[in-house]
Amino acid sequence: MISCAVLGIGVFGPGLPDWPAAREVLSGSTAYVRTDSIVPPSELLPAAERRRATPSTRIALTAAQQALTHAKLDATTLPAVFGSSSGNPDIIHDICAMLAAGDYQISPTKFHNSVHNAASGYYSIAVASHRAVTSLCAFDGTAPAALLEAAVQALADQTPVLMVCYDLPYPFPLSAARPTIDAWALALALAPENFASAVAHLTLLDGAADADNDVADTALIDPTLDAMRIGNPTARLLPLLAALARPQPGEVVLRQGSGRALRVRTAVC
């Protein structure tokens, strides 16, 4: 069992451009209306880096900045955990297409944007942080795995930790092998449970100890949002945000990268 505090929340997805808008929808106060959200240029990045940043990096930094602002934290002091199943799908597609056509002169910009930790690297540059940044991938369990990793780091090191998850669709033909719905980014600023500025508390329990470990992941009431939850690895955390959007205590089941259930109990302050 791991307990931690939530200090700030960030979210960016179709129709949910930030946490205040998402909270209204996920709490049931406002009906969900799907709209295409335009990714804003990140204010964290200097102009030169902003021009080179991919859509993956931009949505990751958008959610990260929201969570940091909500938490009122100094980003230079925070370790961070970045999770993504897809990485940079547009860049991967471009490089594969160039190689398939016999063009082996890959530009340095495309190459450095192709690596899985590109977004976390841009983040470290943007906030001038020398703290450790972890970049992980666990297929459909990436977001719950990143949540667990960030919570463990916060508890072990007794320090706030920023968790950022992001996933975008692959272009065709890669999309046929790995279909993904829309672009989503979520961020949580986590801390040891005794932080006074907490907006909520989480208790993470390994579902492997449960007799009903094959229990299904928690679904969303809205069918459109639930289809996105199933179709985008980062959106698998939307039920957790829905629990954090309501004042009453809750519990959600998320699937880890190992396939085991992760139970998360929530208590909003």
Provide the pLDDT for residue 189: 98
Q: Are 22 and 146 spatial neighbours (Cβ–Cβ below 8 Å)?
A: no
Peptide bond into 173 cis (omega under 30): yes
Provide the pLDDT for residue 19: 97
Please state which CATH number belongs to domain 2-199: 3.40.47.10
Count of CB atoms situated within 10 Å of the CB of 33: 10
Highest mean pLDDT among 41-45, 101-105, 225-229: 225-229
Express each pLDDT in 173-218 by its tens digit.
999 999 999 999 999 999 999 998 999 999 999 875 554 456 789 9
- Computed over every residue of the chain, the mean pLDDT equals 91
Bigger pLDDT: 258 or 240?
A: 240
Provide the pLDDT for residue 211: 46
Express each pLDDT in 59-100 by its tens digit.
999 999 999 999 999 999 999 999 999 999 999 999 999 899
Q: Are 88 and 118 spatial neighbours (Cβ–Cβ below 8 Å)?
A: yes
pLDDT of 155 higher than 90 = yes
pLDDT of 167 higher than 80 = yes
Bigger pLDDT: 26 or 103?
A: 26
Three-state secondary-structure class, residue 20: helix
Provide the pLDDT for residue 165: 98
Q: Are 235 and 13 spatial neighbours (Cβ–Cβ below 8 Å)?
A: yes
Pairing of the two strands 133-136 and 80-83: parallel
Domain locations in the chain as residue ranges: 2-199
How many whole angstroms separate alpha carbon 141 and alpha carbon 56? Answer: 18
Express each pLDDT in 92-101 by its tens digit.
999 999 899 8
Provide the pLDDT for residue 208: 58
